[in-house]
Amino acid sequence: MSRQRLDPEIEQAIEWMVRLRAGDADPRLEQELAAWLANDPAHAQAWQQLQAKLGTSFNTLRTLDQRLPGQASEARQLLLSPHASRRQLLRGLAGLGLLGSGLWLGTRTPYGETLLADLSTGRGQRRDFTLADGSRLSLDADSAVDLSFDDQQRLLVLRHGQLLIQVASDSRRPLRVQTLQGQVQALGTRFLVSQETDASRIVVQEHSVRLRLRTGHEQDLQQGQAALLHPGRIELLAQDQAYRGDWLNGRLSVLDDSLEQVIAALRPYCRGYIRVSPAISQLRVQGVFPLDEPERALDALAQSLPIRIERYGPWFTVIQPHS
């Protein structure tokens, strides 16, 4: 494994991107970034080159001061203040015309969803919550959930990441978890839901659940069963999936996943960005890896697979075929 040397400007641009994406910005961060970009044409060039290379942009996060001159600090304080529902507050500000369209679109990214979610975790962070009804919720790293509890329902909306919930009994209000592909209704007590790239994964650890697609198709799962919710179908999984919950104990257990899937599970614990070459993305992986030591996990993958890991400073890692 090699650590490549980058131009100082590129290294600084990567650090700026990670700081913005990590959500640790304070009201001065956008101003500091603007000053850095204006200080040297090489800075602006490095910023544009990096955005083009990564195929993404964080410019919407920098439009706050431009679109709201003199109001940026106040708006940020409103968004970060204690509130029953931050997303409702944001929509209210947008409805009043206080927010520009660029910032509003920025809140619909994973960064914005985490900022405005009712419950969330950051990079490398797992958290347990006790909900108002007594249910116990665990969130994996880099996960975000919205809550909608009232007299008629108990609804959790999983924006991204994964959760495990131990459901408190309430015969009047069924508990449901909504994902991009459908809903999971608790008929029992304990199950795991993961929002993956193109599907939702459900693993029942105790009793049963009812799956429902947006098309209306339903399927019940019993204890020990698992399924993937696709946009138009439910795929029952024959293999025992109980190990998918090992993240609760800081372990990533893999029986037969692609390298891309394994790296996707490690990303919430890693600093910066990891890119996997398409040529090796479908290599099959088995093993148990430490989530809280992601660098060690990457090294273990390099020892068991025909891959090499190139680290460009602390913020950018590329996994390539070994040659």
CA pair distance 109, 102, nearest whole angstrom: 11
Pick the CATH number of 250-321 from 3.30.450.40, 3.40.190.10, 3.55.50.30, 3.20.20.100: 3.55.50.30
| pLDDT reported for residue 301 | 97
| pLDDT reported for residue 82 | 44
| pLDDT reported for residue 103 | 43
* Mean local confidence (pLDDT), 174-183: 95
| pLDDT reported for residue 84 | 41
Name the pLDDT band for 19 (thresholds 50, 70, 90).
low
- Return the SS3 of 294: helix
Two tokens, residue 249: 């104990």
| pLDDT reported for residue 39 | 81
Q: Please determine, for residue 54, whether its predicted confidence score (pLDDT) is greater than 60.
A: no
Residue with the bigger pLDDT between 192 and 311: it is: 192
- Tell me the percentage of the chain whose pLDDT exceeds 90: 54
Quote the crossing angle between the two packed helices 29-39 and 8-22, to the nearest 10°.
160
Among the listed residues 177, 147, 141, 130, the one whose alpha carbon sits nearest the alpha carbon of residue 23: 141
Name the pLDDT band for 110 (thresholds 50, 70, 90).
low
Name the pLDDT band for 3 (thresholds 50, 70, 90).
very low
What are the residues facing 254 on neighbouring strands?
287
The DSSP symbol for 271 reads: S
If you write DSSP's letter for every residue of 157-216 in order, what string do you get?
EEEEEEEEEEPPP-SSS-EEEE-SSEEEEESSSEEEEEE-SS-EEEEEEESEEEEEETTS
Please name the residue ranges forming H helices in 23-63: 29-39, 41-54
Least confident of 15-29, 74-88, 108-122: 74-88
CA pair distance 43, 49, nearest whole angstrom: 10
* Mean local confidence (pLDDT), 226-235: 96
| pLDDT reported for residue 114 | 58
Least confident of 19-23, 122-126, 136-140, 276-280: 19-23
| pLDDT reported for residue 273 | 86
Q: What are phi and psi of 226, to 5 degrees?
A: -150, 160
| pLDDT reported for residue 116 | 67
HEC string for 119-158:
EECCCCCCEEEECCCCCEEEECCCCEEEEEECCCCEEEEE
Among the listed residues 249, 163, 166, the one whose alpha carbon sits nearest the alpha carbon of residue 206: 166
Residue with the bigger pLDDT between 271 and 255: it is: 255
- Return the SS3 of 284: strand
Q: Parallel, antiparallel, or unpaired for β 154-166 and 175-178?
A: parallel
| pLDDT reported for residue 53 | 53
The DSSP symbol for 12 reads: H
Residues of the chain with CATH 3.55.50.30: 250-321
Residues of the chain with CATH 2.60.120.1440: 120-243
Name the pLDDT band for 303 (thresholds 50, 70, 90).
very high
* Mean local confidence (pLDDT), 285-297: 96
Two tokens, residue 95: 């409805």
CA pair distance 59, 66, nearest whole angstrom: 11
Burial class (CB in 10 A: 0-12, 13-18, 19+), 119: middle
CB 162 within 8 A of CB 148: no
* Mean local confidence (pLDDT), 299-310: 95
Pick the CATH number of 120-243 from 3.40.228.10, 2.40.10.120, 2.60.120.1440, 3.30.450.40: 2.60.120.1440
Q: Please determine, for residue 37, whether its predicted confidence score (pLDDT) is greater than 90.
A: no
- Return the SS3 of 303: helix
CB 129 within 8 A of CB 164: no
| pLDDT reported for residue 279 | 95
The DSSP symbol for 245 reads: G
**Residue entry with tokens 């008929």:** 187
Residue with the bigger pLDDT between 82 and 252: it is: 252
pLDDT digits (tens, 9 = 90+) for 112-166: 555 567 899 988 999 999 999 999 999 999 999 999 998 889 999 999 999 999 9
